[in-house]
Amino acid sequence: MRIARRIRDLPPYVFAGVARRIREKEVRGERVINLGIGSPDMPPPDFVVRAMVEAARDPSAHRYPGYVGTPELRRAVAAYYRRRFGVELDPEREVLPLIGSKEGLAHVAWALVDQGDVVLVPDPGYPTYRLGTLLAGGEVFFMPLKPESGFLPDLEAVPEEVYRRAVAMWVNYPNNPTGAVAPLDFYRRLVELARHYDFVVLSDNPYADVTFDGYRAPSFLQVEGAREVGVEFNSLSKTYNMAGWRVGMAVGNAEVVKALTRVKSNVDTGIFLPLQAGAVAALEGPQEWIEERNGVYRERRDVLVAGLRALGFTCDVPRATLYVWARVPAGWTADALADTLLDRAGVWMTPGTFFGPSGEGFVRVAFTVDVETIREALARVERVLKEATP
Ligand SMILES: Cc1ncc(COP(=O)(O)O)c(C=O)c1O
């Protein structure tokens, strides 16, 4: 049997390999504390679950759901963008529900990228930007995100000839893995460059509603001219604690939305109707609980930041996302530290290198476990760091 070169040459999805290692430890009876993955541990509110269950009782709810989401879901997404960001969207032409935003991030490359085209990708960044580009036969140009620039890419440092070959640029704020946020001026400059060089801006914004200390994250689409040059991906996974439901959306430029719909309608057949009903309930129901939920995350964040700093890590206090991006203690590489902590402390933190070469020297630590568990993880890490040498 011969596996296609496209797949043979593709690096495996790094999180999948780690999940196997963690499972093996658990089978041996070890309790691993997983601070590696940004999967919200709290459930969505009961009214959301009830809406889904009620919809599932309807005998007609089990047929094929259609390719573009229900009109109710597309309207609910448009209403969310109006209420949350002041952005008006046409639910028919500018909104496309996704089976979780990750599939959209991958499939949009098939809509935009031809063999040899360049896609600008942040480094460190969510791995699917890169893998989607490679699957479509494109070339990745990494834009380093550096602490001294607030983890924003230096848009002026991209060589002219790269801009000329670029068909798309990924941006992601609030940022995974660094926790950084972007001002609207950054998006304004991006729109100018996208117009000038004729590339599509792909803004990935799933953490817009996981914010702290009064910070309100904007949408790329708030900027004038944005919808002429780009789309935004969003998700119910983090905003509404619905990661397992797999409901996301692409919104913005109608031409890109149409091209992505063309790809997807040939690949999948939409989202189970009761899940769409639950998603509508989440988007249209009371939103106050989100603030309360963010308060829980904030408390965990503070315990984690203080604990990591006391152990010799260096990190900023993130104003958004579920992650602390911490420089590892002197002498360690990201991979060596993450491996040692998994093997000897049963604590998993994601090495920054999983997100690209500029992630060297950092780990991403998620606060998707309760405060008690964070404290226990910190105590285990302290014990191992005292004994282990880099
Ligand atoms: C930056 C970023 N984009 C996209 C996703 C995918 O989210 P989902 O597929 O659950 O909508 C994640 C998930 O962790 C993420 O961190």
Ligand 1 close to Cβ of residue 175 (< 6 A):
no
Residues 36-74 as b or e (16 or more Cβ within 10 Å = b): bbbebeeebbeebbebbeebeeeeebeeebebbbbeebb
Tell me, yes or no, whether 101 and 225 share the same domain. yes
* SS3 labels along 124-148: CCCHHHHHHHHHCCCEEEEEEECHH
What pLDDT shows up at residue 99? 98
Q: Which of 232, 257, 284 is the last residue of a domain?
A: 284
In a domain, 114, yes or no: yes
Distance from the Cα of residue 291 to its chain's centroid = 20
Tell me, yes or no, whether 258 and 138 share the same domain. yes
Q: Which atom of ligand 1 is nearest to the CA of 247?
A: 11
> How many structural domains are present in the chain?
2
Pocket test for ligand 1, best of 14, 126, 275 (most atoms within 8 A of CB): 126
Q: Which atom of ligand 1 is nearest to the CA of 105?
A: 4
What pLDDT shows up at residue 390? 78
Mean pLDDT, 10 residues at a time, over the chain (390 residues)? 87 79 92 94 98 98 97 98 98 98 98 97 97 95 97 97 98 98 98 98 98 98 98 98 98 98 97 98 98 98 98 97 97 95 96 96 98 98 89
Q: Which atom of ligand 1 is nearest to the CA of 321?
A: 16
Q: Which of 251, 284, 317 is the last residue of a domain?
A: 284
Ligand 1 close to Cβ of residue 38 (< 6 A):
yes
Domain with 309 in it: 5-44+288-387
Tell me, yes or no, whether 146 and 275 share the same domain. yes
Tell me, yes or no, whether 269 and 324 share the same domain. no
In a domain, 211, yes or no: yes
What pLDDT shows up at residue 13? 72
Ligand 1 close to Cβ of residue 176 (< 6 A):
yes
User: Among 86, 84, 157, which Cα is nearest to 120's?
Assistant: 157
In a domain, 57, yes or no: no
Tell me, yes or no, whether 70 and 22 share the same domain. no
Tell me, yes or no, whether 74 and 38 share the same domain. no
Tell me, yes or no, whether 181 and 276 share the same domain. yes
**pTM for the predicted model, two decimal places:** 0.96
Ligand 1 close to Cβ of residue 129 (< 6 A):
no
Ligand 1 close to Cβ of residue 319 (< 6 A):
no
Burial class of residue 291 (count of CB atoms within 10 Å of its CB; 0-12, 13-18, 19+):
exposed
Q: Which of 223, 253, 284 is the last residue of a domain?
A: 284
**CA-to-CA distance for 107 and 92, rounded, in angstroms?**
20
CATH code of the domain covering residue 217: 3.40.640.10
**CA-to-CA distance for 202 and 237, rounded, in angstroms?**
19
Tell me, yes or no, whether 35 and 99 share the same domain. no
Tell me, yes or no, whether 177 and 260 share the same domain. yes
Q: Which atom of ligand 1 is nearest to the CA of 248?
A: 11
Tell me, yes or no, whether 84 and 153 share the same domain. yes
In a domain, 50, yes or no: no
Residues 341-356 as b or e (16 or more Cβ within 10 Å = b): bbeebbbbbbbbbbbb
**CA-to-CA distance for 313 and 325, rounded, in angstroms?**
10
- Distance (Å) of CA 53 to CA 56, 243, 272, 279: 5, 17, 12, 12
Tell me, yes or no, whether 130 and 207 share the same domain. yes
Ligand 1 close to Cβ of residue 70 (< 6 A):
no
Ligand 1 close to Cβ of residue 235 (< 6 A):
yes
In a domain, 56, yes or no: no
In a domain, 226, yes or no: yes
Tell me how far the alpha carbon of residue 26 lies from the centroid of ligand 1, in angstroms: 26
Tell me, yes or no, whether 240 and 95 share the same domain. yes
The residue contributing the CA closest to ligand 1 atom 5 is 102
In a domain, 14, yes or no: yes
CATH code of the domain covering residue 327: 3.90.1150.10
Task: At 55, give phi and psi (nearest 5°).
Answer: -65, -35
Ligand 1 close to Cβ of residue 232 (< 6 A):
no
What pLDDT shows up at residue 5? 86
In a domain, 372, yes or no: yes
User: Among 385, 254, 258, which Cα is nearest to 331's?
Assistant: 385
What pLDDT shows up at residue 16? 78
Ligand 1 close to Cβ of residue 243 (< 6 A):
yes
Tell me how far the alpha carbon of residue 101 lies from the centroid of ligand 1, in angstroms: 6
What pLDDT shows up at residue 7? 86
